Each structure stands twice: as C-alpha cells, then as structure tokens.
Amino acid sequence: MFFVMRAGHGDPALSALGDLATPEAIAAFHKRWGLDAPLVVQFWRWLSGALVGNFGVSMTIAGGVPIADLIASRLPNTMFIGLYALVIAVMISLLAGTVSALRHGRLIDSAATSMAVLGISMPDFWLSYVLVYALALGAGLFPSYGFISPADSLVAALYSGFLPALAVAAPMAAAFTRILRTALIETLYRDHVRVARSLGFTGAFIFVHYVLRNALIPYVTVIGLQVRYLLGGTVVVERIFGVPGIGALMVDAAFGRDYAVVQACALTFLVIVLIVNFLVDTLCNALNPRAA
C-alpha cells in the first residue's frame, strides 16, 4: 500500500497547502515531512515506527495530530455503528428468516424474500437519504445529521446512531435472511429431524435443537464474511450522517494524500478482520453439534 499510494498522482503538499501554494511552500512542506527522501528511506522510517506502534502524525488532514489519537477517537464510533447494525441485521434476519422458512411458499415467505432482494439491491447512499427524508425530516423521529459518541452517552449514541446503523444493517439483514431461510428449509427435511419428530419431540424443541442450531453454522459464517466488509461499508453512511468514523477518516486521508493515516487505517482494518475471523471460526466450532 505504501508504494501503491506513492505511485499515484497527487501531492500531499497540495492537499495541505491548497491551490495557492507556491513552489517554495511546497518544497518546504516536502522537507518538513521527509517527502524529499528516497522512497525506501521513507518506507523504513514508517515501518520502524509502525513496528513499535508509532504511526506518526497526520501531515495533511489533521496536520500535526498523532495518528494513534485520530484512530482512537474514530474507531469506537465505527465499531459502535458496525455492531449496532449487526445487532439490527441479526434481529431482523432471525425473525424474517425463521418465519419465511416455516411458512415457505406462502405469501409471507414471498414478501420476506422480496424484501431481501430489495435490501440487497439498494445502494447505501440512496437508502441513507430515504431514511433521512422519511424518518428524520418526514416523521421527525430521529436527527437527520450528527452522532453522539458512545463515550459521551450510550443512550444518545443508540438514538443518534439508529438511522446510520439501519442504513448499514439493511443489506446485511437481507443477505442474512436469505441464507438463514435456505439453511433452515434444507435442515427441516433432513433425516435427523424426521427421526426427532418420530420420537415425539415437540416442534419447538426440534426447531431449536435440531434445525436452528445446524442452520446457524452457515448463517454465522456469512455474518463473519459480512463483518469483514462492515468497516468499509460504513464509509458512505458515515459521511451522510456525519458519523466521525474510521472509514470516513481513511477516505479523507486517501484524498488528502495523508499516506501514514491511510496505512495506519489499513493496518487497523487488517487487525480487526483477523480478530473477527478468529472469533467467527471459534463460534462456528462452538455451534457445530458434532464438535460440541
């Protein structure tokens, strides 16, 4: 990423100093931030800092502010919206997927399946504006812009973050519903479920212990896959709703040629994805009746 970013056009000096920058100002900026050194030297400077957890300071989008501070203030907001969206998506999909599977082929199933297709097809920016116009400006139920960090007030964060979380959750809920429905229907007709029925277990007991538990394995795997995209997926929503998150930070940094900030954000994403992968694999193992 270090070399790819530098291979592109654009100059951090222009981002920081703007279009009025004189050649002298640009040269002074390059010198100040070590951009006049060979690329290998610049890379070594960055790497030797990153290895000990020192990401340096922002040179354009937040001139002089330590990058660790920027990430520390932004990451909780993105994670909060991501988790909030995940909870909403899981709740909606558990309900819709289950109802759809148990009533498959009926009107409610068709309705749920159609909603899922709609949810997957909707661009996030469009859905965001629909939510703003319908629920914020129309019904007046939520703020149309702005977010209060959970660090300041958890309840306020839940309230101000509802629309952005819902915008992020909608396509996920649609994908989860479809996978859960398919997995449940497939499991419902498996031999071990028939055997359980013939043994006289109740429908609810069979559903929870023999159907849902098996169906949850592909469901959780898909959730894990989606979570990987969750961080990047919040970028547009963060900008529209004014959530100061890490996705928006990374995009701003990329446009501002704030190389070190982009690299630090990418590294943060990488670590989070690795952790999520580990957690998903662990959860899948725990859920698998054969492994349990």
Partner 1 sequence: MSIKGKHVTRRDALKLTSGVMAAGFSMPWAAGRGLAQQAATLRAGIAGFNVINTLDPMKATLIPEFYVIYGAFNALLKFNSKMEVVPDLAESFTVANATTLEFKLRKGVKFQDGSDFSADDVKFTLDRVADEKNAAPNRSKVTAIQDIQIVDPYTIRIVTKAPFAPLLNYLTNTRTATQIVSRTAIKAHGDEAFGRRPVGTGPYIVKDWKSGESLELEAFPGAFSGAPKVARVMCPLIAEESSGMTAILGGQIDLTSTAPFADVPALEKRPEVKVLKQAGLNTRYIALNNRKGPFADINFRRAVSMAFDREVLVKAVLFGEGVAIPGVLPPALWADAKPAFGQYVTFNPERARAELAKSPHKAGTEATLLVWGSNWWRRMGEIVAGQANQVLGIKIKLEATDFSAAYSRMKAGEADAMVMGWLGFVDPDEYIGELAGSKGFRNIHGYANPKMDELLDRGRTEIDPAKRKQVYAEAERLLADDLPVLPCFCSNVHNLLRPNVKGFVQLPYSNFADQFGTVELG
- Interface residues with partner 1 (CB under 8 A) are 8-12, 14-22, 24-25, 27-29, 58, 60-65, 70, 73, 129, 132-133, 136-137, 139-149, 152-153, 155-156, 159-160, 239-242, 244, 248-249, 252, 255-257
Beta carbon of residue 42, minimum distance to partner 1 (angstroms, whole number): 18
Contact 49/56 with Cβ under 8 angstroms? yes
Q: Please, which residues bridge with residue 119 across strands?
A: none
* C-beta neighbour count of 15 within 10 angstroms: 19
Closest to partner 1 by CB, 151 or 274 = 151
Beta carbon of residue 258, minimum distance to partner 1 (angstroms, whole number): 10
SS3 content of the chain, % helix, strand, coil (to 5): 75, 0, 25
Closest to partner 1 by CB, 218 or 232 = 232
* C-beta neighbour count of 69 within 10 angstroms: 13
Closest to partner 1 by CB, 57 or 196 = 57
Closest to partner 1 by CB, 109 or 238 = 238
Contact 119/171 with Cβ under 8 angstroms? yes
> Which residue reads 């989606």 in tokens?
226
> Could you write out the DSSP letters of every residue in 99-120?
HHHHTTTSHHHHHHHHHHHHHH
Beta carbon of residue 266, minimum distance to partner 1 (angstroms, whole number): 18
Closest to partner 1 by CB, 132 or 172 = 132
Smallest CA-to-CA distance from 117 within 170, 185, 167, 162 is with: 170
Beta carbon of residue 13, minimum distance to partner 1 (angstroms, whole number): 9
Beta carbon of residue 154, minimum distance to partner 1 (angstroms, whole number): 10
Beta carbon of residue 178, minimum distance to partner 1 (angstroms, whole number): 30
Smallest CA-to-CA distance from 232 within 272, 178, 261, 173 is with: 272
Amino acid identity of residue 85, one-letter, is A
Amino acid identity of residue 163, one-letter, is L
Q: How far apart are CA 125 and CA 206, in angstroms?
A: 41
Closest to partner 1 by CB, 155 or 292 = 155
